[in-house]
Amino acid sequence: MIKTTVGMVSIATALLLAASFAHVSAQTKQSDRQSPACTQLKEEFACRGRSDCRWVEASGKKKAGCAKAAKK
Could you tell me if 2 and 10 are in contact, meaning their C-beta atoms sit under 8 angstroms apart?
no
Any idea where the domains of the chain sit in the sequence? 1-34, 36-72
Tell me what pLDDT residue 29 has.
56
Q: Which residues pair with 59 in a beta bridge?
A: 62
Could you read off the pLDDT of 9-66 as tens digits, one per residue?
Answer: 677 676 666 666 665 555 555 555 555 788 888 899 988 888 889 999 999 988 899 9
At 40 the three-state DSSP class reads helix
Residue 64: count other Cβ atoms within 10 Å of its Cβ.
Answer: 13
- CA nearest 39: which of 14, 10, 62? 62
Q: What is the pLDDT of residues 55-70, one digit of tens each?
A: 999 999 888 999 888 7
